[in-house]
Amino acid sequence: MTGRTLLRAPVVIALGTLFLWGCASEPRAEETRTGETPAAAAHPEQALLEELALANRILAREADILDIQGHVTARSRTNPNHYYIARFLSPGGVSTSDFIENDLDSNSVNGPRDDQARET
């Protein structure tokens, strides 16, 4: 085994753990004091999207995945028939705003798009 191969095994394990942890944990409840209104309504799955963006960046950095052939997806915590995938770009450049919510047939739930990788 080469040193590069030995480095990839922990990365795959870490990404798998992050993915499973993200799918298994409960969504965080918004904490507000009585009488306060939230400044801006955050995406209901903001924490999941942040973890997913981090997992994509780890994939790019630790496994040298620079194209869309390597990507990380996560199932929606609020709708088990939906998942999130980054739009068509390198995993190293993914941010929370780059994710597209798809149904299980890989169709965007917010209308047709031409800027996403296909999950087949």
Q: Could you list the mean pLDDT of each consecutive 10-residue stretch along the chain, which spans 120 residues?
A: 58 60 51 48 86 90 73 92 90 90 92 73
Helix (H) or strand (E) holding 101: strand 99-103
What integer pLDDT is reported at residue 23 of this predicted model? 53
What integer pLDDT is reported at residue 82 of this predicted model? 97
Q: Say if CB 73 and CB 84 are below 8 A apart.
A: yes
Alpha carbon dihedral 95, 59, 74, 110, in 10-degree steps, equals 40
Q: Say if CB 92 and CB 67 are below 8 A apart.
A: no
What integer pLDDT is reported at residue 55 of this predicted model? 92
Q: DSSP alpha helices (H): ranges in 25-104?
A: 46-63
What integer pLDDT is reported at residue 31 of this predicted model? 44
Residue of 42, 60, 36 whose CA lies nearest to 97: 42
What integer pLDDT is reported at residue 67 of this predicted model? 66
What integer pLDDT is reported at residue 76 of this predicted model? 96
pTM, two decimals, is 0.62
Look at strands 82-86 and 99-103 and give their pairing: antiparallel
Tokens 């999207």: give the residue.
49
The domain limits of the chain are 1-25+44-120
Superfamily of domain 1-25+44-120: Class II aldolase/adducin N-terminal domain (3.40.225.10)
Q: Say if CB 28 and CB 47 are below 8 A apart.
A: yes
What integer pLDDT is reported at residue 30 of this predicted model? 47
